[in-house]
Amino acid sequence: MKRYTLFSCLFVLLGFSACQLKEVVNPNITEDTFIGSDQSASIWLNGTYRQLALVLNEVVVDAEITSDNYYNNSSLSNKVFDIPTILYSDLDVDNMQRAIGKLREMGSYGIEKIFPSDRLGTPSVKAEMYFLRGYAYLLGAETMNGLPMTANGRVGETTELLDSAINDFKQAVALHANATLRNSYNLALARAYYQKGDKTNAVAYAAIVKNANPLQLLQAVYDGQNGVSNTMQTYTYSSSTNTFAPLPRLDFLDPKLYHTGNITTDQKPISILKGEEAYLIMAEAALGNQQLAEAKTTLKSLLTDVVAKRPTVTIFDTLEKRKGNRSDYAQSAAVKVKADAGATAVSGRILDRSAAAGGIKVYTISGTSVTAADIDAAGTIDELLYILCLMRQEIFISEGRRMTDLGIRFPVSQVEQLNNPNVTNAQTIATIPAYIPAATGMDNFSYDKTAGIVTIKYDMNKILVQNKNSKGVLPLLK
């Protein structure tokens, strides 16, 4: 049985606050008959992987439009996160929290109830349950002000969520027999320690990954035939309504997710852990230590040893007209882009998607506009830090990471507060730093058609560098 094949597992009725498991009506299957049956742990694990994919449908979509990466250019999906307006009463806030909470609870139930009763359960199965629960804690720490540690429990804030993730990832490393997956779990540890601001451990685990396999990759798999389609793929490519429009300076990286055959059967995975992150962590740590030359070497190695070796494909994207609420997106490769009013206009950021152009290049895992010459030209810590921020934005596009890098966090939902007496009023307020532009400013731009230049209103990477000492951003600089 392949544990990465997603299919409907046998869900028992469990009372979880903000994470109710789906009831499958089958009078022949009960909790008592399922628990203890052969391979029940593997079956439960498959269902937990399915939940991981569903979690990412919530987190990635919401985080991408909240950030400067994408503008929701249609009436589909949330229309206020772009502003950004993030209220605890918003249904999408509750849906995201529920999805993360359900992944956590499914991991816990598998570890504590299902696995001990399955005589065929292996340590590797248990390891993956630990990883998935740890990933739920990590997502909670990266995207929310806090998250209940258990159903109806007290709300754990960022540090506690990260500590719980770290403990679970360490269990996963200790238990799994597969060296490749252990290395992915080491990368998860590096990421958790990075978010915690623990430079020593973040770099140590990043180095393990870098030395073992620079091209390390772990992805969440989708299965449209069994009701688990990739929502981000739908909104950036498959939908005929051109739902999400990227910031013009990121146009060349869109889409990352696409289909070439039948939409239902061609659902692309989302990368959740990849070797690029190890290099980015080590480079940021070097900058935090004022080691400019070392950071440059690390980032140039990232370009040659990882990004350049990631696969690309050529597809036709002629239906991508960038029409919708806003219709002035440039569609000619001749148009140049300025990162803000004071920046130099550069080419190569906007693609010609017409049939005559012969297709567009898609960076399926990672792509970046940054070159080795750009890195060499950086003369100060801040100049290279700007490049690092840009590389993080470009490399992680369509993966839901940019919002976290900007310092934005969602609140605990109103539904949770109404049902959980441990939630305080302060925890129901989103974190939107003062340096974040209002009124959809992060997505705004002007287009001078005569000059052939698009000018982004705010260069958020420049703003991040200006606010590098703020809480919640660039943790390894502190």
**Rg of the chain in Å (alpha carbons):** 22
Confidence check: pLDDT of 69 > 70: yes
Tally Cβ neighbours within 10 Å of residue 310.
Answer: 18
State the residue range of the domain holding 215: 31-477
Q: Does any domain span residue 24? A: no
Q: Does any domain span residue 299? A: yes
Q: What number is the average pLDDT over the span 53-79? A: 96
Would you state the pLDDT for residue 349?
99
Which carries the bigger pLDDT value, residue 388 or residue 26?
388
Alpha-carbon gap, residue 257 to 268, rounded angstroms? 6
Q: Which helix (H) or strand (E) holds 204?
A: helix 199-212
User: Would you give the end-to-end CA distance of the chain in angstroms?
Assistant: 46
- pLDDT tens digit string along 201-260? 999 999 999 999 999 999 999 999 999 999 999 999 998 776 899 999 999 999 999 999
Confidence check: pLDDT of 33 > 70: yes
Q: Does any domain span residue 149? A: yes
**What CATH number does the domain containing 271 carry?**
1.25.40
- Measuring CA to CA, which residue among 408, 394, 371 is closest to residue 461? 394
DSSP assignment letter at 81: T
Would you state the pLDDT for residue 26?
63
Alpha-carbon gap, residue 356 to 251, rounded angstroms? 18
Confidence check: pLDDT of 467 > 60: yes
Paired sense of beta strands 336-338 and 453-456, if any:
parallel
- pLDDT tens digit string along 427-457? 999 999 999 999 999 999 999 999 999 999 9
Q: Does any domain span residue 20? A: no
Tally Cβ neighbours within 10 Å of residue 27.
Answer: 5
- pLDDT tens digit string along 386-404? 999 999 999 999 999 999 9
- pLDDT tens digit string along 371-385? 999 999 999 999 999
Q: Does any domain span residue 14? A: no
pTM of the predicted model, to two decimals? Answer: 0.94
Q: Does any domain span residue 243? A: yes
Confidence check: pLDDT of 291 > 70: yes
Q: Give the confidence band of 27 by pLDDT, cuts at 50, 70, 90.
A: low
In one-letter notation, the amino acid at residue 22 is K
Would you state the pLDDT for residue 116?
96
Would you state the pLDDT for residue 40?
94
Q: Does any domain span residue 15? A: no
Question: 3-class DSSP state for residue 448?
Answer: strand
Name the average pLDDT for the chain.
94
3-state helix, strand, coil in the chain (%, to 5): 45, 10, 40
Domain count of the fold of the chain:
1
Alpha-carbon gap, residue 311 to 146, rounded angstroms? 37
Residue with tokens 């490393």: 173
Confidence check: pLDDT of 61 > 90: yes
Q: Does any domain span residue 382? A: yes
Confidence check: pLDDT of 174 > 80: yes
Would you state the pLDDT for residue 23?
47
Would you state the pLDDT for residue 20?
38
- Decide: 367 and 249 in contact? Cβ < 8 Å: no
Q: Which helix (H) or strand (E) holds 179?
A: helix 179-196
- pLDDT tens digit string along 332-382? 999 999 999 999 999 999 999 999 999 999 999 999 999 999 999 999 999
Confidence check: pLDDT of 308 > 90: yes
Would you state the pLDDT for residue 325?
85
- Measuring CA to CA, which residue among 230, 196, 221 is closest to residue 272? 221
